[in-house]
Structures are given as structure tokens and as C-alpha cells.
């Protein structure tokens, strides 16, 4: 029963990733520049889900994809938020942050080529950066108060999903050693596959929503 449920959740995650990638592909030419990068992010995640699924179907290890997925997601998200935030300070810091993170990810991956677990320190840093991107956009919204209809703002939904995705995966990463040492295999499966895929599902849904919304014209409240 539990195994079937986790398989169904995994299949739902896979198909939603493909749907988000397809939406990004179809909508790409009609999107502003910032959302075009979000479309590329959705397409990237769809390709990674497809690659992981193919490798799993061939009974080949796919854990080595995790660092590439994390780096790719952060690069695309960082570039998208560069346009959304329009912050000179962020624009100056972004190349350094991405460069340092990519270098660290490469070193960690080379040192642990035969790893059978997620690279927890890399995952934690990546999750913190994702949370930071979402937090910066929320700060921008609060400081400027220029968007009257948050429900029509694509980056509001993307930031909410990215914050939940980052926080959820951060909790799993921080507790992974304890879970592996002290929890039963069924509980590990629920958390590592069921709960983690739940965070993926809401992120892919946010991609679809953000790519289908028409960004509102920003203006001071009350105007």
C-alpha cells in the first residue's frame, strides 16, 4: 500500500514536471524576459526529471544528477530574480554567489563520485540560497508596495513556492542523518520520497501558474 502510494506520488511529480516544461516551451515567446528564464527553469527541471526516470527504468544510478539539478535550478532562478528584483547590489553579488556555489558543487561532486547519498552540505547551502531569493522578492514587495493584486503577480507565487520548497528540503537535509540512523525504512521512504516529491509538486504547479499569468502593471497603492 505505502509503496504503491509513493510510486503514484512519484509519477504525479514526473508528469507535472513535464507539464510545466511544456507550458514553458509553448509560452516562451509571449513572456517578458524574467519569465522567459522561469520557462527555461521549468524546461530544465522537466529534462532532469525525464533523465532521472530513464536512468531509474534502466536500473542505473541517478543520484549523481542531484548536484547538477541543484546548480541548474539556482542558476536559472538567480538570473530570473536578477530581472525581477532590479537591484544593483544583487546584480553585483549574483555572479560571485553563483560562481562560488558552482565551484563548491563541482569539488564536492568530484570528491564523492561514488556517493550513495545526497551531498547534504551542498543541499543545505542550495536550499538557503533558494530561501534567500524568495525572501528578497518578498522584501521588495513590502518596501515598494507597488503591486495591488498579489494573486496576479507571477513572482509572488513563484517566491512562495520556492520558499516552501527550500524550507522543506532544508528540514529534510538537516534531519537526514538522524532519519537514516534511527527511523524505519517505511518512514524514510515517506519523508525522502513522498514528502520531498510533495515539495516538488507544489513548485511545478507554481511554474505553471507563473508562466500562465499576465504580470500586473506595478504602480503605487492608491493610484
Give the sign of the dihedral formed by CA 146, CA 151, CA 153, CA 158. Answer: positive
Instruction: Convert the pLDDT of each residue in 30-52 to its tens digit.
Output: 999 989 999 999 999 999 999 99
The mean predicted confidence, pLDDT, of the chain is 87
Residue 150: predicted pLDDT: 78
pLDDT > 70? residue 82: yes
pLDDT > 60? residue 218: no
The DSSP string of 29-89 is GGS-HHHHHHHHHHHHHHHHHHHHHHHHHTT---TTHHHHHHHHHHHHHHHHHHHHH--HH
pLDDT class of 117 with cuts at 50, 70, 90: low
> Could you tell me the CA-to-CA distances from 191 to 16, 48, 139, 169, 188 in Å, in that order?
20, 21, 31, 10, 5
Q: How crowded is the C-beta side of 42, counted as CA atoms within 13 Å?
A: 33
pLDDT > 70? residue 113: no
User: Which segment of 74-78, 141-145, 151-155, 219-223 scores lowest on mean pLDDT?
Assistant: 219-223
pTM of the model: 0.89
pLDDT > 80? residue 24: yes
Residue 100: predicted pLDDT: 94
Residue 110: enclosing H or E segment and its boundaries? helix 88-111
Residue 115: predicted pLDDT: 57
Amino acid at each position: 500500500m505505502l509503496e504503491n502510494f509513493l510510486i503514484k506520488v512519484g509519477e504525479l511529480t514526473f508528469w507535472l514536471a513535464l507539464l510545466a516544461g511544456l507550458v514553458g516551451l509553448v509560452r516562451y515567446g509571449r513572456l517578458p524576459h524574467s519569465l522567459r528564464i522561469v520557462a527555461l527553469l521549468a524546461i530544465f527541471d522537466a529534462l532532469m526529471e525525464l533523465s532521472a526516470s530513464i536512468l531509474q527504468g534502466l536500473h542505473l544510478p541517478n543520484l549523481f544528477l542531484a548536484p547538477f539539478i541543484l546548480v541548474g535550478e539556482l542558476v536559472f532562478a538567480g538570473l530570473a530574480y536578477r530581472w525581477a528584483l532590479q537591484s544593483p547590489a544583487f546584480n553585483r553579488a549574483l555572479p560571485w554567489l553563483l560562481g562560488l556555489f558552482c565551484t563548491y558543487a563541482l569539488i564536492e561532486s568530484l570528491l564523492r563520485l561514488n556517493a550513495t547519498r545526497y551531498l547534504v552540505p551542498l543541499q543545505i547551502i542550495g536550499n538557503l540560497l533558494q530561501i534567500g531569493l524568495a525572501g528578497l522578492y518578498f522584501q521588495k514587495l513590502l518596501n515598494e508596495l507597488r503591486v495591488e493584486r498579489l494573486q496576479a503577480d507571477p513572482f509572488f507565487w513563484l517566491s512562495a513556492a520556492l520558499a516552501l520548497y527550500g524550507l522543506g528540503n532544508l528540514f529534510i537535509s538537516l534531519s537526514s542523518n538522524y532519519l537514516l540512523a534511527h527511523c524505519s525504512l517505511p518512514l524514510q521512504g515517506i519523508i525522502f520520497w513522498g514528502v520531498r516529491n510533495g515539495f516538488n509538486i507544489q513548485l511545478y504547479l507554481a511554474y505553471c501558474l507563473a508562466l500562465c499569468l499576465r504580470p500586473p502593471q506595478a504602480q503605487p497603492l492608491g493610484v
